[in-house]
Amino acid sequence: MTGGKGSPAGRRPADRLSDAGTAPPRPSSDPLDRYAVIGNPVAHSKSPLIQEAFARATGQRLRYERLLAPLDGFAATVQKFVEANGLGLNVTIPFKLQAFALARERSTRAQSARACNTLAWRGDHWFGDNTDGAGVVRDLTRNLGETIAGRKVLVLGAGGAARGIAGALLAERPLRLTIANRTHAKALELAAQLERDGPISAAPLGSLSGQQFDIVINATSLGLGTRVPAGLWPHRLFAAQSLAYDLIYADRATPFLQWARDEGAARTTDGLGMLIEQAAESFYLWRGVRPDTGPVFRMLRPDGGT
Ligand code: ATR
């Protein structure tokens, strides 16, 4: 996964480790451009399925694989991939900060996130991008038909995932973007970093009591296996017609979405749509072609529900 956080459910041992470490430079019999998702673990990643579907649908000929990098071997694995004619990488846990450090050139949105989920080889250096924010905005506005402009948006969490989406949400001109985090100092830091870009503020979790929001996004790393601890977030955060959106995706309702339903959220959605949209944005960066995401969403979730 590169954008929404992947469900650990169904993870298997690495079923296919990349051969990038030993592959010789691309032989003439293998003319396909090479791309990969790099992470640890990576065997559960849906990125190959998604990117290969995009390639088929747009008629782009490429090879996309999984690249398992040792926890202390990100840069070396990327270097071998380049030497084997690798052109682009989706970057997932735990390497997004290292990808940012490796990129010699970075997009504005990567700088805002201080993390890269996408790398594109520019002939002699890596260009680093972050497509997570664009992915969540596209999923909210195009796929779910939500309006962000003029609405009250709450992001729970202030870590890497929150940083990855906050700038893009703010660019949509919400009435206010509120960041609330268990460790308030991190919410303050994130809000301060973006305050020149729009109406963003940090709020201590306790101070949210009595406030209501139109869109509430879970950007914490709360695990899938647990319930939301009682009292973690105040009651009655959801306005009428509100949407609860979890950056995590899973085949069943996530703990946050279960909690949101109990709290009266009108709609609940997990992060599968964001995962697909951020992948499409990466594909566009690499290939200059924007794939249609609808068929891939239906392929991965034929019943359409969360
Ligand atoms: P990621 O890149 O997934 O965002 P991260 O940068 O470690 O990972 O950030 C994790 C986020 O989830 C943080 O906002 C963290 O809150 P703290 O800053 O207070 O640590 C939040 N988080 C993780 N576990 C949590 C829990 N049990 N309750 C509330 N917030 C939690």
First-to-last C-alpha distance (Å) of the chain: 17
Provide the pLDDT for residue 31: 76
Q: Please, is 287 exposed, middle or buried when counting C-beta atoms within 10 Å of its C-beta (0-12, 13-18, 19+)?
A: buried
Averaged pLDDT, 176-188: 98
Q: How many angstroms separate the CA atoms of 241 and 224, rounded?
A: 25
Whether residue 159 has its Cβ less than 6 Å from ligand 1: yes
Active site residue 80: no
Q: 185 C-alpha vs ligand 1 centroid, how far in Å?
A: 12
Provide the pLDDT for residue 224: 81
pTM of the model: 0.89
Q: 162 C-alpha vs ligand 1 centroid, how far in Å?
A: 9
Q: 19 C-alpha vs ligand 1 centroid, how far in Å?
A: 34
Taking Cα atoms as reference points, which of 283, 293, 301 lies closest to residue 131?
283
Whether residue 243 has its Cβ less than 6 Å from ligand 1: no
196-250 pLDDT tens trace? 999 999 999 999 999 999 999 999 998 788 899 999 999 999 999 999 999 999 9
42-76 pLDDT tens trace? 999 999 999 999 999 999 999 999 999 999 999 99
Provide the pLDDT for residue 17: 28
Atom of ligand 1 nearest to the CA of 115: 2
Closest protein CA for atom 11 of ligand 1? 220
Averaged pLDDT, 256-266: 97
- Give the model's confidence band at 15: pLDDT under 50 very low, under 70 low, under 90 confident, else very high: very low
